[in-house]
Chain A
Amino acid sequence: MSLYDPERDRVRIAGRWLRWSLSWIALPALLGVLVSANVDFRSLPVIGGERLSAVLFQDGQAYFGHLDDSGESGTLTLRDVYYFKNSDGGPTGVAVGLVRRGTEAHEPADGMRINRDRVLAIERVGLGSAVAQAIQVDRELAHASAGRVSLNPTTVAGTNALTAQRVAAEHDIARSWNAAVDQLRKINDLVLPVTKSEAQAITDKAVADLRTVRRNALAAIANKLGMSSAEADAYVRLTDPLLEGPSFANEPAVLLAPDIDAIVTRAVQLYTQVGDAAAKLLTEPKATPAPSPSARP
């Protein structure tokens, strides 16, 4: 009878421990290190807030929207897309304006397939950022729903954000109105080829036209916000006089939602047209009547 008991063999016991620790400790640990280094847990589609991405292109252009990069092809898909246009020197004080993709001449459908080789970087947009706020207000204006069935429901602006955008737009319109009136005053300070009374009449007419543009812009904002015609009339009557006087000069710039930005931009274009027409009338010398030809030599 052999005294050797395999159950008590130290080498075998050590081997069993080694196999156990390899399969239950070392392998899971290695797997954990690999997964944690390569998987961004915050990117997983778990229940949470909206995931708005910024896709920065190599040419400097930036697009914002819901990113789908799940495919193995060389493209990634961006939906509900917004992008920046150059608004340097514009009425909002922000160097860029936000544009909703789909409003271009070719009216592209939703879903932009982007060549990954042209992408410089991808970032998560902060939901409290100026870009996100403007997008949320745009959704509210379009009466978009929050999509509650989604794991990451889209965010729609509340009353406060909407009010902030409305007030910012009003002040942008007022600032541009002030600038247009100042320009007219400066022209009136020059030596003009028209009489004082003619200059006054031209200026008064131009200021009245500028006021009409301002009121129309306010009415357009009221319409965009979904006010009834009676509410819009009351809003314009109440707000218009408040915009005459204060300069609103040192206010922080606000990135406006695309539709509100379009109203402000249009108002500024019309201010410029009215101002230019008045400046032309004020500064162009009157045509002197040509001497009538004599019948006799």
Chain B
Amino acid sequence: MPTLGHSRYQAVFLTNGQTYFGRYYDRIGAYAKIEDVYYLQQVKSSDPDAAPDTRIVRRGRELHEPASRMLIPKSAILFIEDLTDASPIAQFMDRDTR
């Protein structure tokens, strides 16, 4: 059961500056769990002067093809936020997981 409970998706900000999006589950013990994880990826534009494009990527297509859930030590979490239904990231994840 998600800790915050009001939203389907959460943004989990980590101590190393990385952010994961997904369904966050607080658990007893040292780890929290995120299911259906997405993250933002910067893609270099063909124009070297242009700012890099940012796109949202579903975790699972990396070289080790991780399963859809991720355990995160609570000590590595900076803070967690609920995503609103209007959030473009939440809407993308909704469409993508459907």
Contact = CB atoms under 8 A, between A and B. Distances in A.
A15 interface: no
A219 interface: no
Interface in A74-121: 94, 96, 116-117, 119-121
B14 interface: yes
Contacts of A94: 63
Interface residues of B, number: 28
A60 to B, nearest CB: 8
Nearest to A116: B73
Contacts of B28: 38
Q: Is the interface of A mostly helix, strand, loop or mixed?
A: mixed
Interface in A239-264: 255
Given A37-B1, A58-B16, A123 B27 contact: no
Contacts of A124: 66-67, 69
Contacts of A40: 33, 69, 71
A150 interface: no
Nearest to A72: B30
Given A54-B66, A126-B65, A120 B72 contact: yes
A128 interface: yes
A64 interface: yes
B66 A126 contact: yes
B65 A125 contact: yes
A122 interface: yes
A117 B27 CA distance: 17
Interface string B60-82: 10111111011111011000000
B88 interface: no
B1 A58 contact: no
Interface string A49-79: 0000010001110101000000000000000
B29 interface: yes
A129 interface: yes
Nearest to B72: A121
Given A37-B25, A40-B33, A116-B75, A123 B63 contact: no
Interface of B: 1, 14-16, 18, 20, 25, 27-31, 33, 59-60, 62-67, 69-73, 75-76
Given A120-B72, A122-B31, 4 more contacts: A38-B28, A54-B64, A64-B64, A129-B63
